[in-house]
Chain A
Amino acid sequence: MAAPPFSVLAMLRFILTRVSLIIPTFIGITLLAFFLIRLVPGDPIETLAGERGIDPVRHEQLRKEYGFDKPIIVQYGIYLARVLQGDLGKSMITQEPVLNEFSALFPATIELALCAILFALILGLPAGIIAAIRRNSIFDHGVMGISLAGYSMPIFWWGLILILLFSVQFDLTPVSGRIDVLYYIEPITGFLLIDTLLSDEPEAFWSAVRHLILPTIVLGTVPLAVIARMTRSAMLEVLGEDYIRTAKAKGLSRFRVVALHALRNALIPVVTVIGLQIGVLFTGAILTETIFSWPGVGKWLIDAIFRRDYPVLQGGALLLGVVVMSVNLLVDLAYGLINPRIRHTR
């Protein structure tokens, strides 16, 4: 049976297969979050109630409510049902639902992560392309050396060094936070760069930008290194292909060959790598947000650990896991759409 070049059926099957593959992953993540509370030494109700303790009547009531008197598999079922309804418990400190706290803080993390990936792309793609075209030149060696250093960078230290340089030495950028305390910006989208533009205080926008610079560089460093290396090797591979030789032989300009013929094909693996960097970004965000006191979900999670706020830790880890899982799925689907070869392998 000859596969048609574009068939809705094949596409549908591809999408369904990929979507169904995430179900075990989702169950795994919920199992992990479920057992997390039970692995903490001591009684889970007391763990959830915190250090203040709890009176026996309420204890018994909660035991029933959470189903701790039932078999473990039933308990998991109850937990899963709650999660699917969006009930991730309440923070022990603020008594706010975990989901609300997460969605209030998540835009700050996304804003930082988007800026970081943009920074990495703007520098990483051209660096990788030029390094590939001028293979073995000083530029090539320089880019590869710097990117290996970037890849090996302890970003929590990198952040401190940048603060030392730019904030302490030259007084160019603020040390921490998202915006100067003088501004109060009504959260409309949650993204300060947009919200400040919507407000009538142009100064606030620049304040937000200045606060973003260092965290963006810190969080973008590892993706930048990875993207530059990946772009270079993908370009090198493509530049050796026959169709590039054909294009050159046809007398096309060097720019045309590189920009149109080579880059388009080299970008496919690069797109995947960018997708896979999303998980790395969230990991980095935890460290970056801690250094710069950036009010996002990473700092929130770390604070939760030290406050022994287990519902926040449990719910936050679950939500972050689900976000990364969904992004990976989207990348996977996008990859299938760009590259028909992938779509037809199954």
Chain B
Amino acid sequence: MTTETMEAPAVASPTATPPHPLREFWGYFSANHGAVAGLVIIVAVVLLALLADVIAPHDPNITNTTIALKPPFWQEGGSIAYPLGTDPIGRDILSRLIYGAQLSLLIGIVVVAISIAVGTVLGLVAGFFRGLTEIFIMRLMDIILTLPSLLLAIVIVAVLGPGLMNAMLAVALVILPHYVRLARAAVITETSKDYVTAARVSGAGTTRLMFREVLPNCTAPLIVQASLGISTAILDAAALGFLGLGAQPPSPEWGTMLADAREFVLRAWWVVTFPGLAILITVLAFNLLGDGLRDAFDPKLKR
């Protein structure tokens, strides 16, 4: 009898239920105006990329030398048919930028997906098996971190040969250490916790422990790092494209467009201004989102 009366107040009344975690998360996230702005820009870029065929006014690859180097519409000599002007061989810049959004998002997502997939496995393995395996993996990651990231990517692409695919592989390798370190650190903090011991005692194998028990508990930092990783990937891939080592012309990749237009910088400001602006805005949006996600996942840090 007494136990029942004792238990009664311990049961939380329905009105006091904490908000759903997602709702709470959104509360923190939406308080950060920069992060919301970043999210809006990213959604816009995604929509542009998905609807490129509908939105783009022209084919991005059709050349027409009679309209080469037309300025944007608000300048004398420009026309509204080519809102942001045309490049040296008469391709519509706006259309190329819209199709370029497809490439940049693809680069960001593929690169980070490869890095996360390989990185978390390596990190989990390092954290679980310790010993020589760990030393080998972590030392390797230290070496990758020691080398300047773009230098390493350049060297890899120089060896494998220029091209978008090789550039993506190179950038994926360069950002790999962040994910390995994150996953390993998570494993080391998590494995000492009771729920892991409980799972282990109830007979869970190492693979199950790694992927079903520990991994779900380190998703938050991984998501933050993924958002920041996408911005690095887009930036580095564009830099490789600019150096002539990434996507090759006539691909409308933004960095490649810049490299293509570089020699015309003195005659036509618009051919270099807009592709770079597109890179800057997209990268900035992913950085804003990443910062916002980090603060929202870890509200204690902020307050």
Which residues of A are in contact with B by a Cβ distance under 8 Å? 24-25, 28-29, 32, 36, 39-40, 145, 148-149, 151-154, 156-158, 160-161, 163-164, 168, 279-280, 282-284, 286-287, 290, 301-302, 305-306, 313, 317, 320-321, 324-325, 328
Interface residues of B in 129-154 (CB under 8 A from A): 139-140, 142-143, 146-151, 154
Chain B interface, DSSP helix/strand/loop, else mixed: helix
**Contact for A39 among B159, B238, B255, B269, CB less than 8 A:** B159
**Contact for A157 among B146, B243, B269, B275, CB less than 8 A:** B275
**Which residues on the B side are within 8 Å of A164 (C-beta)?**
265, 269, 272-273
User: Which of B46-54, B58-66, B197-205, B278-286 lies at the interface with chain A?
Assistant: B278-286
- Is B147's CB under 8 angstroms from A154's CB? no
**Contact for B244 among A24, A279, A306, CB less than 8 A:** A306
**Which residues on the A side are within 8 Å of B239 (C-beta)?**
154, 156, 287
- Is A157's CB under 8 angstroms from B155's CB? no
Distance between Cα atoms of A261 and B154 in the complex (Å):
44
- Is A317's CB under 8 angstroms from B151's CB? yes
- Is B150's CB under 8 angstroms from A283's CB? yes
Say yes or no for B44: interface residue by CB 8 A criterion: no
Distance between Cα atoms of A286 and B277 in the complex (Å):
21
**Which residues on the A side are within 8 Å of B276 (C-beta)?**
154, 156-158, 160-161
B256 to chain A, nearest CB (A): 12
If A152-B231, A290-B243 touch, whether A302 touches B143 (CB-CB below 8 Å) is: no
- Is B242's CB under 8 angstroms from A156's CB? yes
Given contacts A283-B149, A284-B150, A305-B154, 13 further A-B contacts (CB under 8 A): A25-B142, A32-B147, A39-B159, A149-B280, A154-B239, A157-B279, A163-B265, A168-B265, A280-B148, A287-B242, A301-B151, A313-B158, A320-B151
Chain A interface, DSSP helix/strand/loop, else mixed: helix
- Is B272's CB under 8 angstroms from A157's CB? yes
- Is B283's CB under 8 angstroms from A152's CB? yes
Distance between Cα atoms of A153 and B140 in the complex (Å):
29
Say yes or no for B258: interface residue by CB 8 A criterion: yes
- Is A328's CB under 8 angstroms from B151's CB? no
